[in-house]
Amino acid sequence: MCGGASEDRCYAYNPRANSWRMTGRILSKLTHTGFAVHPILGLVLTGGHDGSARNYVQSSRDGVTFRRDHAPLPAAKWCHCLVSVSDNELMNFGGAGSGSSAQAFSYDVASNRWSNLRPMPAGGWGFGCGLDKTANVVVVASGTPGTRVQILNLATRTWTLGKMEQL
């Protein structure tokens, strides 16, 4: 876990000891970053807020040392979602900040480049996202404004709206 309001420290949880320990520091004090664990890059943090929306991309393979030699996000944003979809690709969805909250981007690890994906059908910020490898989709759920499910088909790179169930 890294960052937070006026925070740059990272912590790791040990479930056996039921305790937290500080492991390192991110490169900037940021809140509301997008984050994902990637098989090559390790922990990846994108964007964030420190009084202004940021387009930073930083990663750490060990949770101690962070680097920022990745191409910056195409738009400064916070309260967005990041998901690792393969060894060579990360995807970033929505968020508040510069540009539209419907923006979606793909990051190619090998070329260190971001490219535009089709915009999300409803956009938003403050949601969670995850990869469903079996269905070959990314699901982006809830968020603001309203409650919604947006589904990106990875084979066709097209969006559909799903149904949010009340639990």
CATH of the domain at 8: 2.120.10.80
Domain membership flag for residue 167 = no
Domain membership flag for residue 46 = yes
pLDDT in tens, 73-108: 999 999 999 999 999 999 999 999 876 789 999 999
Domain membership flag for residue 79 = yes
Domains held by the chain: number = 1
pTM greater than 0.85: yes
Domain membership flag for residue 132 = no
Domain membership flag for residue 58 = yes
Reported in sequence order, the residue ranges of the chain that DSSP labels E, i.e. its strands, are 2-4, 7-14, 19-25, 34-38, 42-46, 57-60, 77-78, 81-86, 89-93, 96-97, 104-108, 113-116, 128-132, 137-141, 149-153, 158-162
What domain range includes position 10? Answer: 2-124
Strand order in the sheet with 7-14: 2-4, 7-14, 19-25
Domain membership flag for residue 81 = yes
Domain membership flag for residue 136 = no
Judged by average pLDDT, the poorest of 1-5, 35-39, 103-107, 147-151 is: 1-5
